[in-house]
Amino acid sequence: MTGSLSADQVASFQQEGYLVVRGVLDQETVLDPISAEYAGVLDRLANQLHEQGQIASVYADLSFSDRLTRIYAETGQDYAQYFDFTLPQGATKADTPFWTGPAVFALLRNEAILDAVESLIGPEIYANPVQHVRLKPPEHLLRRKAGTDAVPNNATPWHQDNGVVTEEADDTDMITVWLPLTRATVENGCLVVQPRSHHDGLLPHCPNDSPATNRNGGPLGLHIPDTFLGPEEQELNMEMEAGDILLMHRRTPHASHRNRSDHVRWSFDLRYNPTGQPSGRSAFPGFIARSASEPWTELHDPLAWTDMWLEARARVSGASLPAFNRWDRSAVTCA
Ligand SMILES: O=C(O)CCC(=O)C(=O)O
Ligand SMILES: [Fe+2]
């Protein structure tokens, strides 16, 4: 197989169900433009909320992390959708916000990411629309949800990404690429994986909206019950630096820790599959990121990508979408 990974790295991915590749993304040319783009998104949000009288100041002098946290804390709201480059299930409206900026598009098309993915699935690569940016403010600075210990958008429950797409994608060779924009540690809520469990097939996922917490201390949400997970001692914390990437098999059980630090935990999760296989969220647009055989089918225009999401929003707003997963219509935050 072509691509940038060594035969040993590919074998390790296949054996363990995950692979961390260090120093893949350049800080100055890849990560900094993304931070700059999101600083603009946050600035617009701050100005909008200030005009609406929801925050006392636009907090222009604060760092990105402190500014975001301050706004979450002051309003008690979760603005995840404002920054994300996908749409929610069911609740999409004609004006639901999302962000599909050129730096995000460039990340999806990043050559170093695609080279690594090519080693696993070959040179016909589709950017699957199951994709997120996750901005998780420090939980001790957020308001608790009424009557619970839960804070918005924090520890991700145990799940397999195969479990958060529809059955038609069960055989899709979907690779998850998770990457932190800033260092990810156990303290600030890095990912945690169960190695080698991807050989065990798709595990049951159970919806649970109660205030109960999982063994990471996060909300249960749509989760794999403990009894189906390997022993806790086998869990591996994925501490990573900005520039590192984590590749995961679609059936690797994973979760994330709570953010117990003083800073926002900021990450992206992207997914790719061989072109032509079902994405598992057919209502949303993906695109051909790389094609060795038909390079003219690749999408290179960030504005065309945004147009595809605008079209999807108009199409699905107010409509009843097919469920994102087979377990629970309302669970959208765990992919
Ligand atoms: O970043 C997280 O907390 C969860 C990410 C995740 O589930 C994924 O990348 O598939
Ligand atoms: Fe996931």
**Beta pairing partners, 206:** 223
Nearest to 230 by CA among 261, 208, 198, 262: 198
| pLDDT at residue 219, rounded to an integer | 58
CA 156–ligand 1 middle distance (angstroms): 7
pLDDT in tens, 239-283: 999 999 999 999 999 999 999 999 999 999 999 999 999 999 999
CA 302–ligand 1 middle distance (angstroms): 24
* Stretch among 33-42, 64-73, 117-126, 159-168 having the lowest mean pLDDT: 159-168
Q: Which residues surround ligand 2, an ion (CB under 5 A)?
A: 161
CA 191–ligand 1 middle distance (angstroms): 7
Q: In the chain, at which residue ranges do the beta strands (DSSP E only) sit?
A: 18-21, 124-136, 175-180, 191-193, 236-238, 245-249, 254-256, 265-274, 287-291
pTM of the predicted protein model: 0.94
Ligand 1: residue whose CA is nearest its atom 6: 335
| pLDDT at residue 206, rounded to an integer | 82
Measured CA to CA, the distance from residue 125 to residue 266 in angstroms comes to: 25
Q: What are phi and psi of 282, to 5 degrees?
A: -70, -15
